[in-house]
Structure 1
Amino acid sequence: MKPMYLPAVEDNPQAKGAYADLIAAVRGAGQVVPQIWHLFAYKPDVTIHLERLTHEIMRGPSPLSAGFRELIASLTSSRNRTPFCATTHAAATAELLGDRALVEAVMHDPATAPVSLAEKELLRFVEKVNGEFWAIGPADFERLAGVGWNDEAIHDAISVCALFNFYNRWVSTTGVCQMPEAGVASSGKRIAQTGYLRTDVARSAEK
């Protein structure tokens, strides 16, 4: 893979913590390191809060399943032309939903994908949140309520889309590269199985 745009982040000799340990372990095994790990390792006192926020939004209690939240992340990242996030989270979605073809269909066009009417409407709304968010108004919420979505579900869908707008810009502007197919598959499986709390899990293991 090409180097990131910030050498001091990718080649940080003072990196410490769970992500620095992960990077060393994966490199030692001769495997591809997801470059986003360098971003998490660079300022761990900051990024631990991002880890926890991400885990709560993506895996905390919600009317939306973990698989559907990953689907929103995949769609958002695809529309924002962020291959690293789009491919990784599409792989995680496929693991959770057990249907790769459905994931690809949604990323191509939610309106024609084999999902329920309610899911189509929520995904349509997510695309508006991701794009013309300034044009959202009461009519959008009435339309969602009309197909059965409550305020919590709508809030959580907005939160996932907003979170991945951050991630998409964070990785794209620092030069994080899309991983090879094997790396995408392993990362997707890891996210599906364990979520996002790398640092807290590592600290618990040390106790």
Structure 2
Amino acid sequence: MAHIKLTNEELPGIIGLLNHRPETAKPLLDLAETLLRGTSTLTSGEREIIAASVSYWNDCHFCHTSHAAAAAAHLNLGLPLIDDIKAGLPETPISAKMRALLNIAHQVQRGGKNVSLEDVDAARNQGATDDEIHDTVLIAAAFCMYNRYVDGLGTWAPQANEDYIEMGERMAHVGYGKF
């Protein structure tokens, strides 16, 4: 049960919050659509990994698991990706550039001023463009907000990874236009 009375108490995580306040849902969904599925040289799967990683570091189970499931759907990697993200991706082959971008995302999650020029240079040295660095910082910052929105209002979330398969598929292949 959320900390406030929602229009539909059966909807988990951010879905219940978006349903409750459609006027704020639209810009939040538009932002997610742009950040995670819009034009970028980072794949949607890579961007979902950033969102899922930040959400895990913020201890937001709903956002971590739903976005990891979306990453798994984009990358055809299956549910083991959800737990691999929690472990720092030891089993998932990702590029050195992606690891450097995840480091930047982690610094943003800890606090924006934790991102150093050395972090940015390390990402550039692995081939990251300024736009990819920009998008990584914005995804990380946005997901800190989304995580605090979901957890700050005490929403409920299914616990099992399997409960997120359909949601992840929908996020990956339909998008964020409507929940």
Q: CA deviation at 1:111?
A: 6.8
2:46 to 68, 82, 85: 68
Higher helix share: 1
* Aligned-residue CA RMSD (Å): 2.2
Larger of the two Rg values belongs to structure: 1
The answer for unaligned runs of 5 or more in structure 1 is 13-22, 200-207
Q: Judge conservation of contact 2:65–2:82 (CA < 8 Å) in 1.
A: no
Q: CA deviation at 1:37?
A: 2.4
Q: How high is the TM-score relative to the length of structure 1?
A: 0.77
- The aligned counterpart of 1:126 is 105
- The aligned counterpart of 2:3 is 5
1:49 to 18, 21, 27: 27
2:176 to 170, 188, 196: 196
Q: Judge conservation of contact 1:111–1:120 (CA < 8 Å) in 2.
A: no
Range with greater deviation from structure 2 (72-81 or 110-119) = 110-119
Question: Relative to structure 1, is the Cα distance of residues 110 and 121 closer, same or farther in structure 2, using a 3 angstrom cutoff?
Answer: farther
1:157 to 122, 132, 136: 136
- The aligned counterpart of 2:167 is 187
- The aligned counterpart of 2:124 is 145
Q: CA deviation at 1:112?
A: 7.4
Deviations 1:38-77 (A, max 9, x none): 3112222222111111111111101110001110111111
Distance between the aligned counterparts of 1:129 and 1:111, measured in 2? Answer: 22
Aligned residues: 177
The answer for unaligned runs of 5 or more in structure 2 is none
